[in-house]
Structure 1
């Protein structure tokens, strides 16, 4: 009997011509260079903010980053982490286990599983900054996230306007369906604004809700109607019990703003009682949402201005509502350590049993973005028609709503007609899976 590694091997960056290979060869060095530039051009600013010792810390960080840049582009063996952050032993034990039964020369940037190595890159950058002590809490991606937010303020304002229109329509069956359809599409396509994909270029998502229907032909799996029917059934099913959904966040900025509008509507319309947002504990994949990003975004929304230069009252009200619901416990933000480990979600039950048990109590878990998707399906080379149930293995938390624009070379659950259509257009070119042009909205219920 064939093993899962025979049926669907884990993706690596070793094959020339693949997106993974080009990512390691060009995109990761670009991201690393931007971090190096951030520190090298900001020494005076850091000294003012963190004190005179910051200059020495920056030089140490730059030296470490430059060395890793060299080791990456020359495909040298991966090194153990040397910091004392809470998860360091988990990382080093796993890296050591990957090295078993192989020569050290084969435990490199291109040869180890791509999911692990990409997570390792971001954890390694964090390691260097954390060890500086003086600047251990510094977010070296924060300035890029701020720039992305300001690039997309028009879309964020339109999202707030749309939310108010949807709420004003009332809670009849038709208005709830149409409103949720628009909001879920905003959440789906907002995932295009990913700074790790663009290498730090701020703008990838320029559509308003009015434009999104035209993108339906690019949604390869569209279970949004099924998800809406389920959302409308949650309260009747649970009765007087607390109804809760969990959103596993991806990018800050315009995508986070879209997630917040969805949460607002679900609570305001009485469809759920509580929304839990799950972010990242440390800077991650350039634009992923940290606790500071979450709070900054709420405040920044309140300061958005209209064309007349005046602060918009609707944005202020929206921001105030988020803050009040956080204070009341209707909203909650968490950042469990598992989200910044390199493991697929098939290992959550054993590696993070409390998180797994907590999510199992949720009425619906919404997974956002490409990285969450890759972890859900173990970042393997599945055939396109592989049922989602097969790919998620023993990750039995459900229902799941997976909202992802495709930015890597793995996807499952496609119908044969969809596969034929895409392949007839692209042939052997995998670009359709890597540019954020196509998306999936997969509603999954474990049998």
Structure 2
């Protein structure tokens, strides 16, 4: 819930969401009507009660059903995952994303994603790939797995492979769980594996995911990779098909190893060894335990499903304040096949820690659950 002042959930509702409204407002030359709608939403989330969608909205029935107990009450008194998800749905509505007007389908978060792709940080990380090109296969695999894990800190993974002792120590101490050996056991080279990757963020975080996919295909850890993305903007930086294309273009236009990787991925999409898919459920607020049958069959056909990022983790294990030592395998027993979580910690939810690790983290006094300074690789066969 978000009604405990000072908690992570409270901070998102009280600070992050109002700030995001202002950022979206400044990013586009919206009309007077859109500005007024943004003002109304800002006032509602800060001072008012949760209001339902317009009955004419295409998904009114879905949200009316899930929000029946929350409409008319404070945003802070709704379950955090529901409140977050509904906020983004309302934000898209205020700028006309789903309407029949000229702003239909215009991603309000696109400027943030594109600015990140053009930034110096991405440039440096792509240059770092040149040093990895001739690294031993196991070092390269470790580096690219860690780069995908850390996303916006992908350079940490690259530096580990380059023999940076300080980076190696930092990476080891920052992992609260590491089942990477099990992950590679499930994907031995030379087997006709199918890997499903459920993407999280676009931009700087999606590029390392694509580079890891190239490794899986190029070194025959997978014969085929299916990359699952969102069907429309969901949380602020979630990846859609357009973002995959933008990242591929960024790679193909880069010199050196990055450009070669981009070229291989572009060809992989043309030949079908890399396929991009989407499903409305990826923008739903339900946990994966309630996934529809067609998506369950999709994941059942994969040798391994890799879930990227914090939101996917929350939906995978259930968005509750579990005891951190609850078994990851037990919480994902429902999943129709082997599943791996690659996640930088940015929210309170976590399971699968051993008691000694948990005790050490708690003694540190750091905000290790939410600060993005720690990460995990958890796998259930």
TM-score normalized with structure 1 length: 0.78
Distance 1:160 1:133 in 2: 43
Match for residue 46 of structure 1?
Answer: none
Distance 1:265 1:83 in 2: 46
Matched, 1:331 2:320: no
Residues 159 and 258 of structure 1 are in contact (CA less than 8 Å); yes or no, is this contact kept in structure 2?
no
Match for residue 396 of structure 1?
Answer: 335
Change (3 A) 1:131 1:228: same
Match for residue 217 of structure 1?
Answer: 173
Change (3 A) 1:82 1:291: farther
Matched, 1:296 2:234: no
Distance 1:81 1:374 in 2: 29
Matched, 1:421 2:360: yes
Residues 198 and 227 of structure 2 are in contact (CA less than 8 Å); yes or no, is this contact kept in structure 1?
yes
Match for residue 320 of structure 1?
Answer: 263
TM-score normalized with structure 2 length: 0.91
Match of 1:27 among 16, 31, 40: 16
Q: Which moved more, 1:177-186 or 1:19-28?
A: 177-186
Residues 432 and 438 of structure 1 are in contact (CA less than 8 Å); yes or no, is this contact kept in structure 2?
yes
Match of 1:346 among 260, 274, 289: 289
Deviation at 1:360, TM superposition (A): 0.8
1:328-370 Cα offsets, whole Å, 9 max, x none, are: 101000121100111111111xxx2101111110000000000
Mark the runs of 5 or more structure 1 residues left unpaired by the alignment.
Answer: 1-11, 44-57, 170-174, 194-203, 236-241, 305-311
Match for residue 372 of structure 2?
Answer: 436
Change (3 A) 1:88 1:279: farther
1:20-419 matches, within 5 Å, as: 20-39=9-28, 42-43=29-30, 58-82=31-55, 84-85=57-58, 87-96=59-68, 98-99=69-70, 104-106=71-73, 108-128=74-94, 129=96, 130-131=98-99, 133-151=101-119, 152-158=121-127, 160-161=129-130, 164-166=133-135, 169=136, 175=137, 177-190=138-151, 193=152, 207=156, 209-211=158-160, 212-213=167-168, 214-232=170-188, 235=191, 242-304=192-254, 312-348=255-291, 352-392=292-332, 395-419=334-358
Residues 148 and 154 of structure 2 are in contact (CA less than 8 Å); yes or no, is this contact kept in structure 1?
no
Deviation at 1:89, TM superposition (A): 2.7
Residues 149 and 342 of structure 2 are in contact (CA less than 8 Å); yes or no, is this contact kept in structure 1?
yes
Match for residue 164 of structure 2?
Answer: none
Distance 2:233 2:249 in 1: 20
1:40-79 Cα offsets, whole Å, 9 max, x none, are: xx25xxxxxxxxxxxxxx3222221110111001141242
Deviation at 1:387, TM superposition (A): 0.8
Distance 1:134 1:318 in 2: 37
Residue 433 of structure 1: SS of its match in structure 2? coil
Residue 146 of structure 2: SS of its match in structure 1? helix
Question: Across the two proteins, how many residue pairs are aligned to each other?
Answer: 371
Change (3 A) 1:314 1:180: closer
1:204-235 Cα offsets, whole Å, 9 max, x none, are: 66535114523211100011112112211781
Distance 2:201 2:108 in 1: 15
Change (3 A) 1:334 1:280: same
Residues 78 and 109 of structure 1 are in contact (CA less than 8 Å); yes or no, is this contact kept in structure 2?
no
RMSD between aligned residues? 2.0
Residues 230 and 239 of structure 2 are in contact (CA less than 8 Å); yes or no, is this contact kept in structure 1?
yes
Distance 1:294 1:118 in 2: 24
- If you compute each CA radius of gyration, which structure gives the higher value, 1 or 2? 1
Residue 368 of structure 2: SS of its match in structure 1? helix
1:365-398 Cα offsets, whole Å, 9 max, x none, are: 00000000011122101011111133336x3222
Deviation at 1:157, TM superposition (A): 1.1
